[in-house]
Structure 1
């Protein structure tokens, strides 16, 4: 707690005592230890304590650890049951960014339908990024409505799911592929989460449990750190996917290398 307080800026002994609610006799032994380890430094001219450079680095890692503990405590039963093995390791390391998540429970009869709260939020967004390995027909209706509202959309599907969408909704998906405000890419390999959706206002995630089952629960967060985490995960999948386009001469769906610039322009 002491080093976290000092991370907010230099403070004198009275400020620290008041914030921690302890006496000088209880506080000074801890300060002396931190001074001895060069984690905290003392400025006699201003009579304040502050973090050293090494102390600041330690607090940064400590902050990451506390964020991870906090998200686990907030939704302990959810995280305990989720299978995170398919989420890329570099993203699992910073999963503590998913702060203040809400769980939207699905009705038994509509496990694979989007929760009404999710739909309301996405229709009021300015852009959409989606990476998905599951077939959700409702996606087509959402894309159609958001494109009418001039939203920008960039999405990545697994090859199997894209083929199913194209087979079930050929006209709509060809229209999506040709639309100036939309890019679609195909991931030939696996996409870890069932579905990831990121907009300018929220991030949402659907994950299997550890027994490979899906219970319809939507994890959603409106925090900037969670949105940033979601963008990074989407960027990872889009960077290893192939952009889809309609060949002007044959009118067939073709694949190209992924155009990062076009995708970014689609949602920035």
Structure 2
């Protein structure tokens, strides 16, 4: 891509927004001006430059992307989405430990565009976010990964399982030790439910995010800071592509975790599972 084309694509908000709008389909000039909230006289010089470089095509009052323009805008959109993801919560991302995210998903950080930053309330530091509860108790399937321990996790997980929600739960080694030691009875009740499964990630807790929580409608993410501490901040996203990104991240760690079954499971040797009291 020539530098001149890079400039045309990225270094003017008017051109960028105009091209992104055309990426959705051809538009007439009146609709474009209305959606972009700009004047005709201010947009015409940009249209002239884009036509000269062969990025857009004009048919009467209707504009559309050329084949070259469509290719370049799709490539540029990926970059712009990643930039938007980081810009929306720049201080949060600049202080997070991101090497817990596999490279193939780091390249798609733009899928998390539009995430809301949730801050913990000082008076409710150990409570689970209402967003986690409200969006998850009405779902048919829930995926949860915790590499820090919150005393509300066992009862929350059991409540989900009792509602016949399909629950997949991953703990780090340290958080599972706390769970199996202090909340053993709750853990056995969870594992007794056919709709619940539990896994333990044997690696370093800092190698995985602090929290991944996915329902059918919401994704909640938490990451350790660069000093290896979890500050209680979370990102919440409802977009389908963010949910897909979160599911891939969860499944990546589930494939690298060991499945746990109840104390009295008799078939654990046949599928590699470990009993609750074997771990």
TM-score of the alignment, normalized to the shorter chain, above 0.5:
yes
The two structures have a TM-score, normalised by structure 2, of 0.76
Question: Which residue of structure 1 lines up, in the alignment, with residue 223 of structure 2?
Answer: 207
Deviation at 1:242, TM superposition (A): 2.6
Say if 1:122 and 1:199, in contact at 8 Å, map to a contact too.
yes
Q: Secondary structure at the match of 2:221?
A: strand
What secondary structure, in the 3-state scheme, does the structure 2 residue paired with 1:243 have?
strand
Q: Quick one: structure 1 residues 209 and 49, their matched pair in 2 at CA, closer, same or farther if it must change by over 3 Å?
A: same
The structure-2 alpha-carbon separation of the partners of 1:217 and 1:47, relative to structure 1 and needing over 3 Å to count, comes to closer
Distance change >3 Å, CA 29–CA 179, structure 1 → 2: same
Are 1:196 and 2:212 an aligned pair?
A: yes
Matched residue of 2:49: which SS? Answer: helix
2:4 alignment partner in structure 1 = none
Q: How do 1:72-111 residues align onto structure 2 when only pairs under 5 Å count?
A: 72-108=86-122, 110-111=124-125
Q: Report which structure shows greater RCO (CA 8 Å, sep ≥6).
A: 1
Unaligned 5+ segments in structure 2 are 1-15, 274-279
The residue that corresponds to 2:129 in the other structure is: 115
Q: CA deviation at 1:240?
A: 2.2
Contact 1:111/1:215, CA 8 A, preserved across alignment? no
Of residues 97, 122, 127, the one that matches 2:141 is: 127
Work out which of the residue numbers 58, 61, 69 in structure 2 matches 1:55.
69
SS in 2 for 1:163: helix
1:26-41 paired onto structure 2 within 5 Å = 26-35=45-54, 39-41=55-57
Q: What's the offset of the Cα at 1:141?
A: 0.6
Q: Structure 1 stretches of 5 or more lacking a match? A: 259-268
Q: Is the 8 A contact 2:126 2:151 kept in 1?
A: no
Q: In the alignment, is the contact (CA less than 8 A) between 1:133 and 1:194 conserved in 2?
A: yes
Distance 2:67 2:258 in 1: 43
Question: Structure 1 residues 57 and 162, CA, compared in 2 at 3 Å: closer, same or farther?
Answer: farther
TM-score (norm 1): 0.79
